[in-house]
Structure 1
Amino acid sequence: MMRMTLAQMVQAVHGSAEHCDCDDLETVTATSVVTDSRQVVDGALFVAIAGEHVDGHDFVDAAARQGAAAALVEREIKSAPIAQIVVPDTVAALGALAKANLEARKAIDEPFTIIGITGSVGKTTTKDLLHALLSTQGETVAPKGSFNNEIGLPLTALKVGERTRYLVAEMGANHIGEIARLTKIAPPDIAVVLKVGVAHLGEFGSVERIAQAKSEIVRGEAPNAITVLNADDERVAAMSGIAKGDVFWFGIDKAQAHDIDGYMAADDIALDDLGHPVFELVSSQGVEQRVSLGIGGRHNVMNALAAASVAKLLGMPLERIAQVLADTRRISPHRMAVSEVERDGARFTLIDDSFNANPDSMRAGIDGLMAWRSQEDQQPYRVAVLGSMLELGSDEHNLHRTIGAYALDGGVDALICVGGGDDASLNALAQDIADGGTEAKDADDMRPVRAVKTTQQADDLIRALNAEHPDMLVLLKGSHASGLSALATQWAAEAE
């Protein structure tokens, strides 16, 4: 964070300084911002946010004891021995403070670039890959995990300091207007749109409205910004008409790389025996570079193309891009993370892709499961453990059945569908996945398909299958509500 005095912060958020002396306005300074009192260090500004379960105002005293310089609050906490900035809405004020921080960085006569990324799938992985690439070029700030909303993006932007060269800002949305608000905080100099899918379809109402929401990142670009679009998605490609500056493209069709200036393509795509994509990176100048991704999943080719396109625009040579993409093996947790789980003398390989789920990412996860060691004579016993998908609207039951059928048609050896404990709607969706899988089987197909309500029941089934199949491969994929990421964490703790 750019160092700010109390007076500068009060001005940025249009608040009032309370519980402090006039001298404090210029002598009290903040060098970091947190919303969790446990993360307070000397010189931090603590932002008190009233959440659904916890009210940050209850921890202003604790933040003061931890060494916070000041607190941003919606009501003065008279008992807390700390300077306080009082505003009507601390979340809105957090965004205003982040905007002021970025403007202060831009005022320094040194290069600084904001890259904004949005899309229905792939945002976090693309962000992780781009962070790895740009970090080799200069100090790069990017969010942890998927900090991409009205709280996460400002907190990330407030990590930008005097020496920061790049900010990679992930921008997500559940409603129209949310990305537009994020671009007012951090207007992208380079805007990347990955895909318009059906994630959050239930919230938006139609794919067209999802496309409208994603297009807000282009409308909110900085003047003369560069727009990087997925040429293979017609709804994304249509956003070129509202771009404020040059448009660059990425996609699978190599032929377009020769026809369109500023196009990055992937050609000759294959998967190695661990499910890692190998392909030719082709630029519009006709330059080709072999790439072997350090992360698994064929779907990550498009994410790598998007990241490579931005890195190329910012001056990285293709050879260096390929090297960094090959060396990047760890990305944000619960995204196609491969590990070995060993307990009670049994062992299996886990593909943990349990961060979240929608129909596109579900199919990609299943494809990754089936690609693992697919070229070897002795293939593992493949188990897909799938949870429900949320916010899919009126067609959610059919979409879940389709995923069950896709898993069985794709060749999984066992399908376990996990609901939400006492949540009847989540249990019904898990049953839909199982029904789709069962309907896809022939009469003599004995592959097990089960729907369960809890992760404990799923764990029991996995233990039983592992006892029969020592060389077993398990995919975890589902919405956060299904608890599969917690199951992955539990297995990791047991292994340790």
Structure 2
Amino acid sequence: MIAMTIAEIAAAMGAQLLRASDPTAVITGLTHTDSRDVRPGDVFVCKPGEFTDGHLFAPVAVEAGAALLIVDHELDLDVPQLLVDDVVVGLGAFAREVVARVRALGTLKIVGVTGSNGKTTTKNLLRTILQEVGPTIAPRASFNNEVGAPLTMLELTEETKFLVAEMGASGIGEIARLVAMAKPDIGVVLSVGLAHAGEFGGIESTVIAKTEMVSELTPADVAVLNADDHRVAGMAAATAASIVWFGLGPNAAVRASDVHSDATGTSFTLTLASGESRPMRFRVLGEHHVMNALAAAAVAESLGVDIDAIVTALESVELAERWRMQVLGGRDGVTIINDAYNASPDSMAAALKTLAQIRTPGQRTIAVLGEMSELGEFSGEEHDRIGLLAVRLNISQLLVVGQNARRMHISTINQGSFDGESSIVDTADEAFELLKNTIQPGDLVLVKSSNSAGLRFLGDQLGELFSW
């Protein structure tokens, strides 16, 4: 973080300063909401949560060396404390001030990324490209909400050239609040789908929320939009920014052609808005990730990165993120694809299509699927749709894990052509016991679910079981 005094941080947050014998003391450490991450000189945010309260862990943070606490009530601890009504709001105000100070230096460029699917992958690809150009800050894991995004922003230093801000939302207004903290120079919208549809209240509300990424951009800014998604394409009317379109179709300025995927990745020809083209081999599994690569390439070109540097960086990436199309196993020719970090109807369908697309003639495919959460009233029909898709793609066997995903199993067994090839268990442990006895040499296995279903650990177990 940039150097700021305790008094300056308090003023930025509108906080009451408590137990600070020296308000001019300078803070340069990182900011955390997890006391286990705190190191000497850091700031600890005592955030109340659904199941516990960060204030309870403040003594641990102080023992670890926290130099400053952000609290909503005074604690009996001999360390400076900033008292605010809402620590999350205070955290956002703190981040906004740090961004503004680094912005004032005139060298920082901010890229905001949103979309129903692909945010984390695109963010990671951008970090890989841009860190070769200059100091780059991007979120760890999926730090993309009202807490995670500010924590990332607070990592800025005077030397930072690029901030890649992943901006997620589960409701209207949330992206707008993040944009107010760090208005992008380049705003990216990847897709609009049914992810979190239950929380948004429908696809129309999702469109409104995602449009917040580009609605405040100025004519000097750039909006990078998916030309193949009609809902994203419609956002062109809502922004004053210049637009760079990406996609597979002829209307895209940044596009992929001659696309071919297999079990080791995807080959395609990358064409930039300048008209320059290069063949490339993208090793992140799944043809759907090509769109994320195109978005990253469009941003990089807009920031002045040349095509050879873009291709070299993209070709260096083997894994978008742990638990995202992560290839494991290998013993006895068994391949485990662990894609169970998250799941929406679109990403579930894309993963199943990849499973079908990369199988070799005669190879058996097994889909181990769990619940797609946060779909609200759409949950039943979307789980039905995925079950039917598994049948249409001729997936060899389906194993559904958890009663919340039961309709996937029911929809498959209702299809005569799939009778007896689908089964259901209640837990990941039961699934593991079943699979370790039924997976055969040469099998191709996909594990996919929302994070809450916990199947990512099942994928790890299977990967370890069939590792060399």
Where on the TM-score scale, by shorter chain, does this alignment land: which range? over 0.9
Q: 1:299-314 residue pairs with structure 2 within 5 A?
A: 299-314=288-303
Q: 1:329-348 residue pairs with structure 2 within 5 A?
A: 329-340=318-329, 348=334
Q: 1:171-210 residue pairs with structure 2 within 5 A?
A: 171-210=167-206
Q: Is residue 371 of structure 2 the alignment partner of residue 399 of structure 1?
A: no
Question: 2:429 is matched with which residue?
Answer: 456
Question: 2:413 is matched with which residue?
Answer: 438
Is residue 67–residue 80 contact of structure 2 (8 Å, CA) maintained in 1? yes
The whole-number CA distance in structure 2 between the counterparts of 1:84 and 1:45 is: 10
Question: 1:112 is matched with which residue?
Answer: 108
Q: 1:213-224 residue pairs with structure 2 within 5 A?
A: 213-221=209-217, 224=220
The whole-number CA distance in structure 2 between the counterparts of 1:168 and 1:440 is: 46
Is residue 417–residue 450 contact of structure 1 (8 Å, CA) maintained in 2? yes
Q: 1:220-235 residue pairs with structure 2 within 5 A?
A: 220-221=216-217, 224-235=220-231
Shifted more, 321-330 versus 147-156: the winner is 321-330
Alpha-carbon distance, 1:30 to partner: 3.6
Alpha-carbon distance, 1:245 to partner: 2.1
- Return the match for 1:35 from 33, 36, 50: 33
- Return the match for 1:99 from 96, 99, 102: 96
The whole-number CA distance in structure 2 between the counterparts of 1:44 and 1:482 is: 33
Q: 1:19-34 residue pairs with structure 2 within 5 A?
A: 19-21=19-21, 24-34=22-32
Question: 1:422 is matched with which residue?
Answer: none
The whole-number CA distance in structure 2 between the counterparts of 1:83 and 1:112 is: 31
Please tell me the residue identity of whatever aligns with 2:189. Answer: V
Question: 1:13 is matched with which residue?
Answer: 13
The whole-number CA distance in structure 1 between the counterparts of 2:462 and 2:83 is: 44
Q: Which deviations, in whole Å up to 9, do the C-alpha atoms of 1:472-495 show, x marking residues without a partner? A: 221111112222012234446666
The whole-number CA distance in structure 2 between the counterparts of 1:341 and 1:50 is: 44
Question: 1:60 is matched with which residue?
Answer: 58
User: Match of 2:334, SS?
Assistant: strand
Shifted more, 124-133 versus 196-205: the winner is 196-205
User: Match of 1:26, SS?
Assistant: coil
Q: Give the TM-score normalised by structure 2.
A: 0.96
Is residue 418–residue 451 contact of structure 1 (8 Å, CA) maintained in 2? yes
Equivalent residue pairs, number:
467
The whole-number CA distance in structure 2 between the counterparts of 1:20 and 1:146 is: 34
Shifted more, 69-78 versus 447-456: the winner is 447-456
Is residue 250–residue 306 contact of structure 1 (8 Å, CA) maintained in 2? yes
Q: Which deviations, in whole Å up to 9, do the C-alpha atoms of 1:26-81 show, x marking residues without a partner? A: 12424221111111111111111111222111122222221111111111112x12
Question: 2:343 is matched with which residue?
Answer: 357
Please tell me the residue identity of whatever aligns with 1:359. Answer: P
Q: 1:262-301 residue pairs with structure 2 within 5 A?
A: 263-272=253-262, 274-301=263-290
Unaligned runs of 5+ in 1: 258-262, 420-426
The whole-number CA distance in structure 1 between the counterparts of 2:24 and 2:177 is: 30
Alpha-carbon distance, 1:251 to partner: 1.2
- Return the match for 2:85 from 61, 84, 88: 88
Is residue 408–residue 441 contact of structure 1 (8 Å, CA) maintained in 2? no
Say what the alpha-carbon RMSD is for the aligned residues: 1.8
The whole-number CA distance in structure 2 between the counterparts of 1:56 and 1:393 is: 30
The whole-number CA distance in structure 2 between the counterparts of 1:368 and 1:103 is: 43
The whole-number CA distance in structure 2 between the counterparts of 1:477 and 1:397 is: 17
Is residue 264–residue 284 contact of structure 1 (8 Å, CA) maintained in 2? yes
Is residue 275–residue 298 contact of structure 1 (8 Å, CA) maintained in 2? no
The whole-number CA distance in structure 2 between the counterparts of 1:60 and 1:354 is: 33
User: Match of 2:102, SS?
Assistant: helix
The whole-number CA distance in structure 2 between the counterparts of 1:460 and 1:179 is: 42
Question: 2:126 is matched with which residue?
Answer: 130
Change beyond 3 A, Cα 1:384–1:366: same
Shifted more, 169-178 versus 477-486: the winner is 477-486
Alpha-carbon distance, 1:146 to partner: 1.1
Please tell me the residue identity of whatever aligns with 1:65. Answer: E
Question: 2:48 is matched with which residue?
Answer: 50
Is residue 6–residue 30 contact of structure 1 (8 Å, CA) maintained in 2? no
Please tell me the residue identity of whatever aligns with 1:431. Answer: R
Question: 1:423 is matched with which residue?
Answer: none
Q: Give the TM-score normalised by structure 1.
A: 0.90
Q: 1:146-161 residue pairs with structure 2 within 5 A?
A: 146-161=142-157
The whole-number CA distance in structure 1 between the counterparts of 2:216 and 2:108 is: 18
The whole-number CA distance in structure 1 between the counterparts of 2:398 and 2:57 is: 45
The whole-number CA distance in structure 1 between the counterparts of 2:217 and 2:299 is: 15
Q: Is residue 316 of structure 2 the alignment partner of residue 316 of structure 1?
A: no
The whole-number CA distance in structure 1 between the counterparts of 2:266 and 2:151 is: 33
Is residue 144–residue 332 contact of structure 1 (8 Å, CA) maintained in 2? no
Q: Which deviations, in whole Å up to 9, do the C-alpha atoms of 1:371-417 show, x marking residues without a partner? A: 2243xx5x432110011112223232121111011112112111001
Question: 2:447 is matched with which residue?
Answer: 476
The whole-number CA distance in structure 1 between the counterparts of 2:231 and 2:287 is: 22
Unaligned runs of 5+ in 2: none
Alpha-carbon distance, 1:224 to partner: 2.5
Alpha-carbon distance, 1:446 to partner: 6.0
The whole-number CA distance in structure 1 between the counterparts of 2:379 and 2:29 is: 46
The whole-number CA distance in structure 2 between the counterparts of 1:386 and 1:461 is: 14
